[in-house]
Chains A and B, each alone.
Chain A
Amino acid sequence: NAGVTQTPKFRILKIGQSMTLQCTQDMNHNYMYWYRQDPGMGLKLIYYSVGAGITDKGEVPNGYNVSRSTTEDFPLRLELAAPSQTSVYFCASSYGSGGLETQYFGPGTRLLVL
């Protein structure tokens, strides 16, 4: 199993550009998550999904959109990139719904908005 994969690994965007961060998991997990990690801060939840077709906002959803058309994929869309979105983005997945299950993280996407 590849686990959780993310692409790209690194990207530079200009202000106002859009892009999609890709996330795929091959563990048949129901739950998927997008986090951002800023220096000196904990992981902040952007969006999450409890299954195909179902998504919900996390702690910091503004400026982002997600979709979940399949169990495997959970792309994160930035429509109008802003410098405040410079961060490292992590996708994660877990099997169960109770929150006790381990989250498996992808390797991260480093995004720089200039």
Chain B
Amino acid sequence: ILNVEQSPQSLHVQEGDSTNFTCSFPSSNFYALHWYRWETAKSPEALFVMTLNGDEKKKGRISATLNTKEGYSYLYIKGSQPEDSATYLCAFLSNDYKLSFGAGTTVTVRA
């Protein structure tokens, strides 16, 4: 079982503010990191797959960075909107193809 931790567990953001949160994973045996967005009553949807140290991905107002040497990834939301309210999951893929999910960070954007 690979230890993947996400912090904080939840956060509240005022509409228009920016925020970020962390996914920590083992720095050894890294193969890839996935980010998923999971809205209430829906299925998780893929945001990014990141493979290289220093990778930066962007999708609209959401972006992510990756540091494989120290074992963390940040997800950023710029100018939060109510529709950004969701749980954001990261999943660490080891180089023996074991995928481990974090418990998620639940973001609530207040209008």
Give A contacts to B, CB under 8 Å. Answer: 4, 35, 40-45, 59, 90, 98-108
Contact check, A102 vs B49: say whether CB atoms are below 8 A apart: yes
B109 adjacent to chain A (CB < 8 Å): no
- CB-based nearest A residue for B50: A100
Contact check, B43 vs A105: say whether CB atoms are below 8 A apart: yes
Q: How far is the CA of A108 from the CA of B43 in the complex (A)?
A: 7
Question: Which chain B residues numbered 37 to 96 have a C-beta less than 8 Å away from chain A?
Answer: 42-46, 49, 51, 89, 91, 93
B21 adjacent to chain A (CB < 8 Å): no
Q: How many residues of B contact A (CB 8 A)?
A: 23
Contact check, A42 vs B46: say whether CB atoms are below 8 A apart: no
Contact check, A100 vs B43: say whether CB atoms are below 8 A apart: no
B4 adjacent to chain A (CB < 8 Å): yes
Return chain B residues, CB-CB under 8 Å to A103: 34, 44, 46
Q: How far is the CA of A101 from the CA of B45 in the complex (A)?
A: 12
Apart from the given pairs A45-B99, A107-B43, 9 other A-B contacts in the complex at a CB distance below 8 Å: A35-B101, A40-B9, A42-B103, A43-B91, A59-B100, A98-B97, A99-B32, A100-B49, A105-B44
CB < 8 Å neighbour of A43 from B51, B93, B101: B101
In this complex, the member of A43, A59, A90, A102 whose beta carbon has the largest number of chain B beta carbons within 10 angstroms is A43
